[in-house]
Amino acid sequence: MDNFEPKIVAFCCNWCSYAGADLAGTSRMQYPPAIRIIRVMCSGRVSPFLVLKALSVGADGVLVLGCHPGDCHYIEGNYKTMRRIPLLKKVLKQFGIEEERVRLEWVSASEGAKFAEVANSFTQSIKNLGPSTLDNLKQSSKGAKHG
């Protein structure tokens, strides 16, 4: 397991967490290359579908990062995320997937250090869990319904 390099998708909201990630970069803070950032307008845009999609095509872990409660650019987008992720985790557990593979964190635009810290600790926890076994059922044989 020593040479396991996880693939981690991090959904970052445009207004806080993406700027936080940017700050971590411009401040030359170190965080693992396992993190693949996808910028979305709001953490409320991160439908559970996107998290499941990332997991089903081979992500070993998914981070959902948004503005702190009360700071959402769209007033309450992150509250919706706050309600969705716990229910999604419950569903994942029933699917036999470790709920630790999905983590929700609040990272503001000024928290470059927190972004790096979350990226580090999440990567470490995924390394401890080992590779996800989810991509063993490839989606290529999906029927005509999905084109």
- CA separation for the pair 8, 38 (Å, rounded): 11
Residues 7 and 101 sit within 8 Å (Cβ to Cβ): no
| Nearest to other proteins of 54, 119 (CB atom) | 54
CA angle 121, 108, 35 (to 5 degrees): 40
Q: How many Cβ atoms sit within 10 Å of the Cβ of residue 121?
A: 12
Q: Note whether 140 binds other proteins by CB under 8 A.
A: no
User: If binding is defined by CB under 8 A, does position 134 make contact with other proteins?
Assistant: yes
How many positions of this chain bind other proteins (CB under 8 A)? 33
Position 143 contacts other proteins (CB under 8 A): yes
Q: Which stretch binds other proteins (CB under 8 A): 59-67, 89-97, 107-115, 116-124?
A: 89-97
At a CB cut-off of 8 Å and minimum separation 6, what does 102 contact?
A: 51, 55, 61, 62, 64, 85, 88, 89, 92
Q: Which of residues 40-69 bind other proteins (CB under 8 A)?
A: 47-49, 52-53, 55-56, 69
Choose, by CB under 8 A, the member of 110, 121, 128, 133 that binds other proteins. Answer: 133
Question: Rounded to whole angstroms, how far apart are CA atoms 57 and 68?
Answer: 29
Binding site for other proteins (CB under 8 A): 47-49, 52-53, 55-56, 69, 79-80, 82-84, 86-88, 90-91, 94-97, 133-134, 137, 139, 141-147
